[in-house]
Amino acid sequence: MNDKLIIIGASGHGKVVANIAIKMNKWQSIAFLDDDKSIKTSMGLEVIGKTTDAFTYKDEADLFVAIGSNATREKIQEKLIAEGLNVVSLIHPSAVIGTDVELGLGSVVMAGVVINSSSRIGKGCIINTSSNLDHDNVLEDYVHISPSVGLAGTVRVGKGSWLGIGSIVSNNVNISSGCKVGAGAVVVKDITEPGTYIGVPVRRVDR
């Protein structure tokens, strides 16, 4: 662990991530990298360069990729890991994490989240504000669980899928990789193909 944390991405998601890092009280300094040169500071923290500058901080700083797009986050985080940079995970102090829960590198657990026993969270996942994941869930890498999502017990979400705000998934349901589940949707049966799904219960809308 280093004294400095560098967060890649200084926009809205980056600000929430920085707030969590501040609350964790583990780093003496926190700064951003962002490819938008017009952003000089965010939330009072300095933007010290662009994404590719991350590699110059090897052995000097911990890194976190705060980019909402699952695909972009994966691309950047995988490069950082391949180059041996120290990617960390972040957990808001108000989150409740059960026994035997695993959290992969570069994942963030935001304020008010509950993750119950024996759940497995992959690399680079976003577990957004006030979402709840019950027991034995499996989230593959680079999944985004939006605010106020509810996953019942033994739900599996495939790589890179995005569950929209307030969506709900019944117990023992599997969701394929590469899915978008719309805001407020309800998933009661397995989703076996990548695609965009909305409604109650969900129907596929991107054919």
Ligand X SMILES: CC(=O)SCCNC(=O)CCNC(=O)[C@H](O)C(C)(C)COP(=O)(O)OP(=O)(O)OC[C@H]1O[C@@H](n2cnc3c(N)ncnc32)[C@H](O)[C@@H]1OP(=O)(O)O
Residue 74, CB-side half-sphere exposure with 13 Å CA sphere: 13
Closest distance of CB 113 from ligand X, Å: 13
User: How many other C-beta atoms lie within 10 A of the C-beta of residue 194?
Assistant: 16
Q: Is 199 in the site for ligand X (CB under 6 A)?
A: yes
Closest distance of CB 94 from ligand X, Å: 16
Q: Any known ligand binding at 44?
A: no
**SS3 for 41?**
strand
**SS3 for 204?**
strand
**SS3 for 163?**
strand
Closer residue to ligand X (CB): 77 or 128: 128
Q: Is residue 135 among the annotated active site residues? A: yes
Pairing of strands 186-187, 126-127: unpaired
Q: Any known ligand binding at 89?
A: no
Q: Is 72 in the site for ligand X (CB under 6 A)?
A: no
Q: Is 9 in the site for ligand X (CB under 6 A)?
A: no
Contact 96, 110 (CB under 8 A): no
Site for ligand X in 103-132 (CB under 6 A): 128
The one catalytic residue in 123, 135, 156, 159 is 135
Closest distance of CB 193 from ligand X, Å: 16
Q: What is the dihedral of CA 105, 127, 13, 86, to 10 degrees?
A: -10
Q: Is 165 in the site for ligand X (CB under 6 A)?
A: yes
User: How many other C-beta atoms lie within 10 A of the C-beta of residue 137?
Assistant: 25
Q: Is 152 in the site for ligand X (CB under 6 A)?
A: no
Q: Is 201 in the site for ligand X (CB under 6 A)?
A: no
Closer residue to ligand X (CB): 61 or 110: 110
- In the block, residue with structure tokens 């950047």: 76
Closest distance of CB 32 from ligand X, Å: 18
**In 68-178, alpha helices (H):** 70-82
Residue with nearest beta carbon to ligand X: 182
Tokens of 176: 């394929």
Catalytic residues: 135
**Which residues are known binding-site members?**
11-13, 68, 144, 165
Binding site for ligand X (CB under 6 A): 128, 146-147, 164-165, 180, 182-185, 196, 198-199
